[in-house]
Amino acid sequence: MKLKTRKSLAKRVHVTGGKTQSRWGSGGKLLRKHAGQSHFNAREESNVTQKKRRSGTVHKTISKNVRQLLPYS
């Protein structure tokens, strides 16, 4: 039986192309967007807004659970 991918999570997370295979999918990193960049950004410092534009990585402790919800990525 095929496993279903959680589409809401697949839209929020991007998997990079890693070389090693693990039990929970490919060995790539999981990238995500930073929170809090929709509005009220004028009061933030410029270095904070620049850091929010770049994508961050999902932490190791959470990535195992995320990979279970994205079985074919």
Domain at 72, CATH number: 4.10.410.60
Total count of domains within the chain? 1
Q: What is the pLDDT, as a whole number, of residue 73? A: 80
Q: What is the pLDDT, as a whole number, of residue 19? A: 67
- Across 55-59, average pLDDT: 94
Domain span at residue 54 reads: 1-18+27-60+67-73
pLDDT digits (tens, 9 = 90+) for 31-56: 999 999 899 999 999 999 999 999 99
Alpha-carbon distance 70 to 63, whole Å? 10
Instruction: Report the candidate in 6, 20, 8 with the shortest Cα–Cα distance to residue 67.
Output: 6
Q: What is the pTM of this model?
A: 0.76
pLDDT digits (tens, 9 = 90+) for 10-38: 999 999 887 666 665 567 899 999 999 89
